[in-house]
Amino acid sequence: MAAGNVPLDLGSLASAIDPAVQTYFQKSGEYIKPEYEDYVYVDTDVTDRTMQEAWLGGLTQFSRNLENAVILAESPPESSAKSYVQVEFADMVRVTRQAMLFGLEKRNLQDQLDELRKAAVRKKNTDLANLLNNMASTSYTVTDRAGSYSKTITGADSVAFSSASHTREDGGPAWVNRHTDGTTVNMDYKIMRLIPSNA
């Protein structure tokens, strides 16, 4: 597989242009299930490069109201804000004109759209797996054909995704989204938000 901006040329398609090769076909993996959709919320209606989320919490519960007393009020807590900056991910195949005419079109392999779809799903599934594999860290390094970069995965409270130190919006004791018996760490169900192309 050629890396970077090296085009697919006749030198890369020696068998495709060889008349002695009777059978030449696209070898590809099976259908790739978009597994990330089973675990995260995906926002497909992003129109701003930078998005920020915050929310207003709910109320606790009724308290006893003594006769002729003023009803006790409470103030719903507001969360910390979390920002998302959109990052674009892409893939493509560069093909020379001669390679297209005498290689791909000759062998009826000019449609690579399905392969691009699979590459996109592969990236999203890998992003989710990396998030879960590194959920006890605040960041990790991602390496792809464009190089390496650091990916921060802290929440609005600036602690790791799986942490025993998440702050509560009401200022109370820290809440926990993981349990451990000293050997195994398990996570409570927690809504995860993943926006396509989110860095």
| DSSP states of 57-122 | ----------TTPPPP---PPBPPPEEEEB--------B-HHHIIIIITTTT----HHHHHHHHHH
Range name among 117-121, 164-168, 175-179 with the lowest pLDDT average: 175-179
Task: Let me know if residue 139 belongs to a domain.
Answer: yes
Mean pLDDT of 60-72: 91
The answer to whether 87 and 198 are in contact (CB under 8 A) is: yes
How do 185-187 and 193-194 pair as beta strands?
unpaired
Q: Could you tell me the residue range of the domain that residue 147 belongs to? A: 10-14+32-194
The answer to whether 161 and 153 are in contact (CB under 8 A) is: yes
Alpha-carbon gap, residue 46 to 109, rounded angstroms: 34
Residue with the two structure tokens 């592969």: 122
Alpha-carbon gap, residue 58 to 64, rounded angstroms: 19
pLDDT at 197: 36
Percent of the chain with pLDDT over 70: 82
Two tokens, residue 134: 């590194």
Evaluate if residue 182 carries a pLDDT over 90. Answer: no
Mean pLDDT of 157-179: 73
Task: Let me know if residue 151 belongs to a domain.
Answer: yes
- pLDDT mean across residues, the chain: 81
Which residue has better confidence, 174 or 63? 63
Q: pLDDT-based confidence at 92, cuts 50/70/90?
A: confident
Q: pLDDT-based confidence at 185, cuts 50/70/90?
A: low
Task: Let me know if residue 199 belongs to a domain.
Answer: no
Task: Let me know if residue 5 belongs to a domain.
Answer: no
Task: Let me know if residue 1 belongs to a domain.
Answer: no
Evaluate if residue 113 carries a pLDDT over 80. Answer: no
Task: Let me know if residue 25 belongs to a domain.
Answer: no
What values do phi and psi take at 52, rounded to 5? -135, 135
Evaluate if residue 142 carries a pLDDT over 90. Answer: yes
| Number of structural domains in the chain | 1
Task: Let me know if residue 22 belongs to a domain.
Answer: no
Evaluate if residue 188 carries a pLDDT over 80. Answer: no
Task: Let me know if residue 4 belongs to a domain.
Answer: no
pLDDT at 150: 94
